[in-house]
Structure 1
Amino acid sequence: MLSIVVITYILLIQQPYQTYQLETIEAALASTVELSCSVGQNIEPTSPAKIIWIRDDRADIVSLDSVITVRDRRLSILTMTSIDREERILRITNVEEQDHGLYRCIRGDITLNEILLDVLIPPRITSHAPEDMRMIVREGKDARFSCTATGRPTPTIVWQVNGLSRPTLVTTIAGTNESVLILRNVSRFDSGRVDCSATNTLSTVNRQFLLDVKYRPTVTVPFHWSYFRVNDSPTITCLACSSPPPTTFDFFRPKHANPITKGIKDKFDEVLNQTCRQLTITLHLSDTSLFGAYVCRAKNIAGISHAEFIIKELIQSTKHMKSISEEHALTPTSIIITTSSSTVTKNDEPSERHIEYSYKSNTVATGIIAEKNQAFQLSTSLLLLIVLLFVASRC
C-alpha cells in the first residue's frame, strides 16, 4: 500500500503542468484579446524547450517563444519575465470570426494552458421569404413568412404582426435556425407590418415585411328606405371599403347592368382613405317612375357586394291616401323591402310573409282613416247646430 502512494507522488512531481483547467474567453468582433501562458522559472531551469502557441483546430504553430510564425499582422507576443515566472501572452487585435477556436500553450511535451476563444458574432438574417419583403394574399387564405438567422450565441427569432406577438403560430425547422410564421385564414385586420427579429447577447436585427390582404368591398348606405314627395330632391350617400379599391362603384336599379342616369341632379365621388370611397348623389323625383328600389354596387378583383335602399312616395293628402288605400288594399304596392347583399332573394321579390304583413297594415290604416272622417263630420254638425241655436236666441 505504501509503495502505491510513493509511485503516485512521484508521478505528480514529474507532471507539474497538467493541473491546468480549460479556460473560455469571450471576445467581440473587432476587439482585442490577450491569451496568457506562464511557467515558473525555478522548474526545469536547464530545459531548452521553447514556449509554443498552437491553434488546435488548424494544427498551426502560431508562435515560438516571442516570434510569430504565421502571416498575420494582427498577432503579436508579449514577453513578461519575473524572478519566478516567465509569460508568453498571445495578443490578437481586431478579432475576426475566423479566430474562434482552441488555443494551446505548450513547452516541450507539456501543455501549460488551453484556452477556448469564443468569438461573439452579432445576429445576421441570412435569408428570408418572401424575398421582396411583400406578401399579397386574399382574405381567408394562409400567409407564410420565414427567417433564417446566424450568430454566436445562436440568436432567438421572434415574430410580431402589427406590433403583437404571435408565438403560437411559429415553427422552427429542425437542424437549422430557420423560423416560419404561418397566419391561417388571414383577415383584412392582419394587413400591415410583419416583423422578424433575431436577438442574441450582442444585438438585435430585424426584417420588416408588408402583408397586403385583398378583400371584396363592404358597402353601406345610411338608410334602407325613406319617404319623399314628387319633386323632392333627396341626397343619398354610399360608402364602400375594400382592398384594392373598387373598379365599379355606382348606383343601379335592381337587375340592371348599367348605372342610373335618369333623375340625377348631382353626383360626387370622394376618396376617403386608401381603402374607402364615398359616392353621393342627389335625385330629382320629377315623376313616380323614380320611386322604388335602388342598389349601390361595388366590385373589385376580390368580389362584388351591394346594399339596397328604397325611395317611397309620400302621399300628400288624407283624401288621396284614403282613395289609394281603398283601391290597392289587397295589393303589395306599399311593401318595403330592406335587404342587403347577403339577403337578396333570387328574383329580388318580397316573400309571402311580407305581402301578408303589408295587406294587414293597409287594412288597419283604412279603418282608422274612416273613423276619423266620421268623427269630423259629427263635430261639424254639432258646431252648426250650436250656431243656429245662438242666432235664434238673439232674435
Structure 2
Amino acid sequence: MHMMAVIFLFRISITAHVWNGGSVRKSEVSVCGADTQPFPGQSYGSRGKRRRRRLRKKCRNVKDSGPSRKNSEQIMNNSTLGAVLLALLFCLHTVPSTVSSEVTVITDPKFSAPIANVTAAVGREATLTCVVHDLGAYKVAWLRVDTQTILTIQNHVITKNKRIGILYTEKKTWQLRIRDIRESDKGWYMCQINTDPMKSQTGYLDVVVPPDILDYPTSTDMVVREGSNVTLRCAATGSPAPTIVWRREGGENISLQDGELVPSVEGPTFSIPRVNRLHMGAYLCIASNGVPPSVSKRVMLIVHFPPMIWVPNQLVGAIDGQRMTLECHSEAYPKSINYWTREKGDIVPQGGKYEPVLIDNAYKVVMKLSIKVVSQADFGSYKCIAKNSLGETDGTIKLY
C-alpha cells in the first residue's frame, strides 16, 4: 500500500533491567518526530517550510534515571500494548508500497446425494444430476465409464459429441444433458472431483426402445390344407425385450388343441395341430414392452378344404300357386361355384319363375332357390351343387 504524504516515525524503546513485582529500576524513553518528505513532484511552499522548522525544534531527547513506581507499573502493564503497536508500526513501515497476499482456504468437497439412475426413450432427452458441496478451487468433470471418455469439465463441454451439454446451476449442481438419446448411450456415467485421492460417483442411464416387429422370421399370410399342422411366428425387438401376444382380429376366441377356447395366446410362436376351417381368419401378433407405442402385425391364416353341403330340409311340401323357397348351406375354400340342377341334370336358369340367390360369408354360402308360383311341373328333385379346385359335392331336396 502507498504511504501518506507526511509520515511520522516513532521510536519507542523500553529497557527493563529488573522485572520484579511490576517495577522498572531503569528505563529510557526517547521520542523524536522524524523529518517529513513530500511525495515526489511536490514542494512544501513558504508556509510549509516554517512548519518544518518548528517540527525540528520540537525534536528532543528526554532521559529519566528512574520513574516513579506508579509510572513504572503503568509502563509495564502497557508493555504488551506497546509491543503490539511496535509490531503494527513495523509492518506498516517495512511493507513495500505494493502488497500481494493470497489466502488459501482448504476445502473438502462432498457429494450431497447419489446420482439418480435415469431411464429415457430413444429420441428423447436425458439429464443426470450431480450435486457437490464445498467445492472450493476443485473442479467437477463428467465421464463415460465404459469408454473413459471425458465429456465435460466444470461448465465446458470437452467431447465433440454435439448432443452432449452441461448445465451449471446454484454453484453446486452439474447436470449432464444428452439430447436425441440413442441406444448406444446406455451405460454408466461418472461425476468426478479432482481431489487427491479423486472422489467420484456414478449413475446409470437406461435407454428404452419401443417394440418393432421384424419382417423375418415373422410369418406372412399362410395358406394350408385342412388337417395339417401350422405354426405362426412373430419376432420383435425392443428394450426391454417385448412380450408377444396372439389374438384374433375380430375378437373371437382361439380354439386350442384340446378344444378349449381362449381370448389370446402368449409367446412368439403359436402352434395349431390339425388345423381346420374354424381356425381360418386374421391373427394379430401384438408386441409390447411398456414403452409406447405397442405394435402389431396381421397374419392371415387361410385353410383350404373341399366343398361340403348341408341341407336343412330335404323334403319340402307345396301346393299349386304357392311361392316356395329351397335352401342349401355350402362351405368351401377356395370359394366354390354354386348352382342348382333338376333331376335330369339340367341347370336351373335364372329368371322367369325361378330366382336363385347366393348369400356369401367368408367360406360359407347359403344357396336359395325361389319358385314364384309352384305348378305341377315344379314337383320333383332339385340338386344344390358346390365345386372348387379341391372337389365337388351336392345335396338333394325333393319338392312334393
Q: TM-score, normalised by structure 2?
A: 0.57
Please state whether the residue corresponding to 1:98 is helix, strand or coil: helix
Question: Is the 1:129–1:145 contact (alpha carbons within 8 Å) kept by the matching residues of 2?
Answer: no
Identify the match of residue 37 of structure 1 among 112, 120, 130. Answer: 130
AA of the residue aligned to 1:28: A
AA of the residue aligned to 1:91: R
Question: Is the 1:231–1:286 contact (alpha carbons within 8 Å) kept by the matching residues of 2?
Answer: no
Distance in 2 separating the partners of 1:192 and 1:278: 23
Question: Is the 2:367–2:384 contact (alpha carbons within 8 Å) kept by the matching residues of 1?
Answer: no
Identify the match of residue 278 of structure 1 among 347, 364, 367. Answer: 367
- Where do residues 129-168 of structure 1 align in structure 2 (5 Å cutoff)? 133-161=220-248, 162-164=250-252
Identify the match of residue 209 of structure 1 among 299, 304, 310. Answer: 299
Please state whether the residue corresponding to 1:37 is helix, strand or coil: strand
Distance in 2 separating the partners of 1:265 and 1:311: 19
Q: CA deviation at 1:16?
A: 8.7
Q: CA deviation at 1:118?
A: 0.7
Q: Does 1:27 align with 2:114?
A: no
Partner of 2:187: 101
Identify the match of residue 162 of structure 2 among 73, 83, 86. Answer: 73
Q: TM-score, normalised by structure 1?
A: 0.57
Identify the match of residue 124 of structure 1 among 212, 223, 227. Answer: 212
Q: Percent identity?
A: 25
Q: CA deviation at 1:286?
A: 4.7
Partner of 1:340: none
Partner of 2:309: 219
| Alpha carbons of structure 1 residues 94 and 205: separation in structure 2 relative to 1, 3 Å | same
Which one scores higher on RCO, CA 8 angstroms, separation ≥ 6? Answer: 1
Please state whether the residue corresponding to 2:117 is helix, strand or coil: strand
Partner of 1:298: 386
Q: Does 1:186 align with 2:275?
A: yes
Distance in 1 separating the partners of 2:234 and 2:271: 12
Q: Does 1:56 align with 2:145?
A: yes
| Alpha carbons of structure 1 residues 66 and 266: separation in structure 2 relative to 1, 3 Å | same
| Alpha carbons of structure 1 residues 36 and 294: separation in structure 2 relative to 1, 3 Å | closer
AA of the residue aligned to 1:89: Q
Q: CA deviation at 1:116?
A: 0.6
Q: Provide runs of 4+ in structure 1 moved above 6 Å.
A: 15-20, 227-234
| Alpha carbons of structure 1 residues 208 and 138: separation in structure 2 relative to 1, 3 Å | same
Question: Is the 2:188–2:202 contact (alpha carbons within 8 Å) kept by the matching residues of 1?
Answer: yes
CA RMSD of aligned residues (A): 4.0
> What count of residue pairs does the alignment treat as equivalent?
277
Distance in 2 separating the partners of 1:97 and 1:30: 9
Partner of 1:115: 203
Distance in 1 separating the partners of 2:144 and 2:152: 10
Please state whether the residue corresponding to 1:106 is helix, strand or coil: strand
Q: Does 1:245 align with 2:302?
A: no
Distance in 1 separating the partners of 2:326 and 2:109: 99
Distance in 2 separating the partners of 1:124 and 1:144: 21
| Alpha carbons of structure 1 residues 280 and 52: separation in structure 2 relative to 1, 3 Å | same
| Alpha carbons of structure 1 residues 277 and 51: separation in structure 2 relative to 1, 3 Å | same
Q: CA deviation at 1:234?
A: 7.1
Question: Is the 1:159–1:166 contact (alpha carbons within 8 Å) kept by the matching residues of 2?
Answer: no
Q: CA deviation at 1:166?
A: 5.4
Question: Is the 2:307–2:332 contact (alpha carbons within 8 Å) kept by the matching residues of 1?
Answer: yes
Please state whether the residue corresponding to 1:154 is helix, strand or coil: coil
Q: Comparing both structures, which one devotes a greater share of its residues to helix?
A: 1
Distance in 1 separating the partners of 2:318 and 2:130: 100
Distance in 2 separating the partners of 1:167 and 1:111: 62
Deviates more, 1:222-231 or 1:240-249: 222-231
| Alpha carbons of structure 1 residues 261 and 40: separation in structure 2 relative to 1, 3 Å | closer
**Larger Rg computed on CA atoms:** 2
Please state whether the residue corresponding to 1:189 is helix, strand or coil: helix
Question: Is the 1:251–1:296 contact (alpha carbons within 8 Å) kept by the matching residues of 2?
Answer: yes
Partner of 2:40: none
Distance in 2 separating the partners of 1:171 and 1:139: 24
Please state whether the residue corresponding to 2:278 is helix, strand or coil: helix
AA of the residue aligned to 1:181: F
| Alpha carbons of structure 1 residues 185 and 22: separation in structure 2 relative to 1, 3 Å | farther
Q: CA deviation at 1:298?
A: 1.4
Q: Does 1:308 align with 2:396?
A: yes
Q: CA deviation at 1:29?
A: 3.1
Distance in 1 separating the partners of 2:236 and 2:191: 34
| Alpha carbons of structure 1 residues 106 and 279: separation in structure 2 relative to 1, 3 Å | same
| Alpha carbons of structure 1 residues 165 and 146: separation in structure 2 relative to 1, 3 Å | farther
Q: CA deviation at 1:23?
A: 4.3
Please state whether the residue corresponding to 1:297 is helix, strand or coil: strand
